[in-house]
Amino acid sequence: MKVFISLGWRLLCCLVLGFSSTASGSVSCLGSQNCFVNDLQNFKTSWTVTGGTTLNMTIVAETTGWVGIGFSRTETMAETDFVMGGVSPDGTAYGSDRFFSSLDNPQQEPLIDYQQNVSWSANEAAGVTTLTISRLLNTGDIATDYDLSSGSYALLWAFRRSNPAATADDTSSYHSGGRGILATGVSFAPVPLPAAVWLFGSVLAGFVGMSRRKLA
């Protein structure tokens, strides 16, 4: 019975919000670590940290408009480090590093940073937009980039349902697909090895040294 209710609810969401059943499957975490999906299963963010210094993040949403992810210390839009991007109707990909200050107009888009410290790529297929970004945890830009190597953050999500213009970048258009907090208390800092691991390594090195001396 629960299965039929779940399927019925998912079908209702698809009909009301205009999602396809195949698209819904593309934004599920499927047990992956460092992955969050919003309640309606229409927006997902997943990431890895490489070399202890670089954040690689993928944002997926059921939309042909822009998608955005924000790193917030306040769990609100105020003082949030954003990345936004997507694919225009003419097939041109776009993306940018941004910041929204509490002093800015709440109805305007986050302002583009003077320093663009994010590399990105975007593609769109079957009504699903994927934005892939990469940035240093600590970019050195203390004005408009948070140092993600320390502290914890709330992930804020937003996207626009479709492109309003024929060919233009549409990030100036207000989000119509939704917005909210995807997760709170997220830390991107590398997890340090426990002291026991270092102790084991030093003991193992000692054994190796003793073995070499005996062989000599």
Q: What distance in Å separates the CA atoms of residue 195 and residue 199, rounded to the nearest whole number?
A: 6
The per-residue pLDDT for 14 is 41
- The model carries a pTM of 0.75
What is the percent of the chain with per-residue pLDDT over 90, rounded to a whole number? 50
Q: Band of the pLDDT at 189, cuts 50, 70, 90?
A: confident
Q: Band of the pLDDT at 43, cuts 50, 70, 90?
A: very high
- Does residue 15 lie in a domain region? no
Give per-residue burial for 158-174: e unless 16+ CB within 10 Å, then b. bbbbebeeeeebbbebe
Q: What are phi and psi of 25, to 5 degrees?
A: -70, -20
Asked if residue 83 has pLDDT above 60, the reply is yes
Q: What total number of domains does the chain contain?
A: 1
Domain span at 97: 25-215
- Given a contact cutoff of 8 angstroms between Cβ atoms, the answer to whether 45 and 35 are in contact is yes
Beta bridge partners of 70: 82, 156
CATH of the domain at 152: 2.60.40
- More confident site: 7 or 91: 91
Which of 5-9, 123-127, 177-181, 193-197 is most confident? 123-127
